[in-house]
Copies of this chain bind each other. A is one copy, B any other.
């Protein structure tokens, strides 16, 4: 193994841990997830996890960062579309396509934020809030480009609707809620 391969492997392990943290925490929640769970999912010995993340909270922060990375990927992709309305509609369609995941585990960011907001220390609640704000800001930017009078309020409405429908789909174990509400949102976007 050459040096660059080793560095890659090390970076790869860190990435595996981040992805595993994001996935396992999404499925089980922060509090019900043990370091051992994440280690197992990433195929890393427990003791070794601490080489990459000094505390469980750092792993949760890494999960948040992973979700942020994914959000950036998605919005980056959408930004290539010329029409902001199309961007928003594709965003909603992406949500709909994740309906089964949402019905099983809810929105990754939303459920994480809800759980972390129960904490009083550590600042992870703020980090989760910032992640949601990132989405809100991007959405507001699209409404602004569309010439809407109050883009921030519209962003809250759209993202709020997403969070609400994810929560209901999850609570009722019914992915079709995502489909129906998603369709309504697309129609609403078209009506603006």
Contact = CB atoms under 8 A, between A and B. Distances in A.
Interface string A102-124: 00011000110111011100000
B164 A160 contact: yes
A29 interface: yes
Q: How many copies does the complex hold?
A: 4
A128 interface: yes
Given A114-B111, A132-B171, A177 B164 contact: no
B27 A118 contact: yes
A181 interface: yes
Interface of A: 27-29, 31-32, 105-106, 110-111, 113-115, 117-119, 125, 128-129, 132-133, 136, 153, 156-157, 159-165, 167-168, 170-173, 177, 180-181, 184
